[in-house]
Chains A and B, each alone.
Chain A
């Protein structure tokens, strides 16, 4: 005991003992914190709560730093949305209020309106399934940024894609086409949507323009995913026609695509836009390969 006390009376030994203690405690903190997180302690503290639900109050309290605060809130929106997506949750109750606060703090934060409307309008589990809230957000964006014609494109898109209101979509595209600086194809889009409504060709045109004009990688990727789904839908319809034709002419249903190739209906085994071969189900219907990255539910 005395020798131990003597040992610790030396500063160097004491320092080493302290370092060891600090290290051990740090290592002990990791499993403890994980256990607390697993039991939901942190979720409870973080909660689905907005302590200050008004962006205008926050603006007053920000003492002139509302731009920075808007950026922080926008990051919070992205984290909230990303967290919900990762957790496969369909409850996005704070999304609308968080976007409202963000855009109250900085009414010129274009990205918050554009991405926010996508987050809000997409059907669960991809989004909140609140297209009406998306419309309100975009309309606020238009009021705050009347010169930004792309909000009209987004507005028309929500009407077209999520609400299937083709007349309103055509009106939005038309209104957008009349804004200064708007692309000429907006006018063509308005005419096409007004004339052909919910046809796949119209959707294809719409998504192609979005993919072509996208200034952001995520928006482009989303548009390309939709284009792949549209292409696969068209191809499946054509292949189903060929399978039906084979059945009609050969007097028996095709068991595989090899039979169609052998009979000269196809030049090669058909592949979907992601490169995976299509499959022929037992019911005689053409289906996507289970490992295909094409998501047909995007078109629902």
Chain B
């Protein structure tokens, strides 16, 4: 219950931030502009609309996750409001989980708004929407899973570093996570056992975002395989648990003076 209260407060606090509205507005503008980009191309109008629309949801979701995620804990410490909260019967673990869930809710609402904008643009271009268009919700779901992991990473860094450095670290980890397949290839191809072990360990330890990138697939109206739904959901759940666990450990260890 206390976790829910913190989550709701975090959500309310997040939606008060102007940067959030700017990002969502810009995302909606870009989704709408995809009609324009499509019209100056040949034969790929719809593909451009879908790829640009879903990419906007992903990129702006990522920006929101990073810019708001990095402030989650550090701002409370900076403003010294954390003393107020922790002096109440709230454990540090509840505080961290509540903060995480609050931002997740913010992202959920923002992604829902951007998805509505995406479908509205699609409807404007085609004049109708069919059952086949539901496949894009799959891509949105995978984007949300990705964002849930990114928020977790931002939260961990927010517990140990300054907001600026947290943003840089989170973004770097996001980029690395998209190249994880190269790490696996390197571990398989290198002749050095040490490098192979190191790359293999990193491949499993670092977040793997590559499996979540299905925008191109759905843009070509391909169905998302069942194992990807289950596997990615489970993967995100495990990884978020790891990140929350780490964030709680770090926050528990931290001394406030």
User: Which residues of A does B touch, CB under 8 Å?
Assistant: 9, 11, 14-15, 18-19, 21-22, 25-26, 28-30, 32-33, 35-37, 39, 41-42, 44-47, 49, 76, 79, 82-83, 86
Contacts and interface: CB of A to CB of B under 8 A. Distances in A.
24 contacts: A18-B93, A18-B252, A22-B246, A25-B238, A25-B241, A28-B238, A29-B239, A29-B242, A30-B204, A32-B231, A32-B235, A32-B238, A36-B231, A36-B235, A41-B211, A41-B225, A41-B231, A41-B232, A44-B217, A45-B181, A45-B210, A45-B212, A79-B182, A83-B185
Nearest to A39: B227
Nearest to B237: A25
Interface in B213-228: 213-214, 216-217, 225, 227-228
Nearest to A37: B184
A25 B228 contact: no
Interface in B51-67: none
A15 B235 contact: no
B211 A42 contact: yes
Contacts of A15: 248-249, 252-253
B91 interface: yes
Interface residues of B, number: 39
B225 A21 contact: no
A22 B243 CA distance: 8
B205 interface: yes
Contacts of B231: 32, 35-36, 39, 41
A16 to B, nearest CB: 9
A44 B214 CA distance: 9
Most chain A beta-carbon contacts within 10 A, residue among B91, B204, B246 = B204
A19 B211 contact: no
B42 to A, nearest CB: 18
A11 B92 CA distance: 9
A131 B239 CA distance: 47
B161 interface: no
For the complex of A and B, list the 6 residue pairs with the smallest distance between their C-beta atoms, beginning with the closest. Answer: A22-B245, A45-B210, A18-B245, A46-B181, A25-B238, A82-B189
Contact of B235 (A21, A29, A49, A86): A29
Contacts of A45: 181, 210-214
B188 interface: yes
B158 interface: no
Nearest to B182: A79
B234 A32 contact: yes
Given A33-B204, A37-B184, A86-B188, A19 B245 contact: yes
B208 interface: yes
Contacts of B105: none
A119 to B, nearest CB: 14
B23 interface: no
B252 A14 contact: yes
A14 B249 CA distance: 8
B222 to A, nearest CB: 10
B176 interface: no
Contact of A42 (B92, B181, B188): B181
Interface string B180-211: 11101110110000000000000111001011
A9 B214 CA distance: 42
B234 A19 contact: no
B248 A25 contact: no
Given A32-B234, A46-B210, A21 B189 contact: no
Most chain A beta-carbon contacts within 10 A, residue among B180, B185, B203, B246 = B185
Contacts of B245: 18-19, 21-22, 25
Nearest to B249: A18
Contacts of A26: 204-205, 242
A86 B212 CA distance: 26
A9 B184 CA distance: 41
Contacts of A86: 188-189
Contacts of A9: 91
A29 B245 CA distance: 15
A41 B252 contact: no
Contacts of B91: 9, 14
A14 B93 contact: yes
